[in-house]
Chains A and B, each alone.
Chain A
Amino acid sequence: MELQDIIKPENKVYGKPSLMNETPMHYCPGCSHGLVHKLVAEIIEEMGMEEDTIAICPVGCAVFAYRYVDVDWIEASHGRAPACASSVKRLWPKKLVFTYQGDGDMACIGTAEAIHAMNRGENIAMIFINNAIYGMTGGQMAPTTLMGMKTATCPYGRQADLHGYPLHITDIAATLEGTCYVTRQAVNTVPNIRKAKKAIRQAFENSLKGKGCSLVEIVSTCASGWKKTPQQANEWMEENMFPYYPLGDLKNTVE
């Protein structure tokens, strides 16, 4: 049997979502962004929402998210994606509107916009990639950097007296009356990828149905920023990040 004989539709076990285009990704090997992008593309396709999605990306590593998924994108200024999404959703109430932000974008420079969009109960879905570091600018300390963790701007490890404490923005989100669904997920294993997909899907459904604001945190790796191999990064995340940012639903008022 030749290779060509095997390539048949009935033998297909896995495919790239059709909304993912052919542009080579700029993400580093082992980065969680690519996986989350794929989940987003798959879900929009499965929901049949291609013509009814408005996606808003951040400043940070995901600044180029718009290159990879074939839906209409807005590239917001640093930290302001939730403000941008608020007006978009209010002006286009029938659309699926979601933001895609990293920890620096959402939990530092854009904290006010994130908290107030959530607290107003904007009917948007917010995807929050937390890898505890500024990836794009070269591995500086993030609001979510763990205590003792070394980065370019806390080279001797994060210390409370010098740098303060990691910000638990997802926990804060769960206390806000405007949020309907707040969950923390990861994409490090196949079961976790499935769970993360289910969570993003629910957040998207909530946006469409006008249930309030949903926040899906994805505890993520940054192999380059952490100066580790992809495999080491996954292990480090499980050992250090998960105890500090435990996975699971923090709030779900929809079901």
Chain B
Amino acid sequence: MTEEIIISGFGGQGVLSMGKILAYAGIMEDKQVSWMPAYGPEQRGGTANVTVIISDDPISSPILSRYDTAIVLNQPSLEKFEPVVKAGGTIIYDGHSIIQPPTRKDVKVYRIDAMEEAARTGNSKVFNMLVLGGLLKARPIASIDDVVKGLRKALPERHHKLIPMNEDAIRRGMEIIEEVTI
């Protein structure tokens, strides 16, 4: 099993940390993992994306030209990555952030209204965990247990009190994601 994922959105949406938690979950599943960010000066508000690979085998290139799954959290990201998802792959997008939804018919497309859900609950910080939950529903690459273990390792000790809140958000994300027929 190898899952090659691109997560892309605006800086500040928690794209990089979502990738990191996912990678840690992969370690807990005894897999090989890599996490490769596009880095640059735009740490707030600019574009941010990270490539996460989780695999049973040693990972060769951490840099990819095609992906199994793309999680796109703004319109430019969708435009950039929709064409490079492999046939039969998966696109997950946030309903509020994307104005022109994906149009490809040869991939599975999921919509998650994570931005709205985060706004509704008044906790914008769990936005990325809602999306992560959605991913785990659409692509069950790691168990919730291992994701929570991953959270424990990814978060500094002083933030461990936030783990239950994040776990709730992941579970909620699994509920609110829905497949879209193109």
**Touch between chains A and B, by CB atoms below 8 Å:** no
A residues near B, CB below 8 A?
none
B residues near A, CB below 8 A?
none
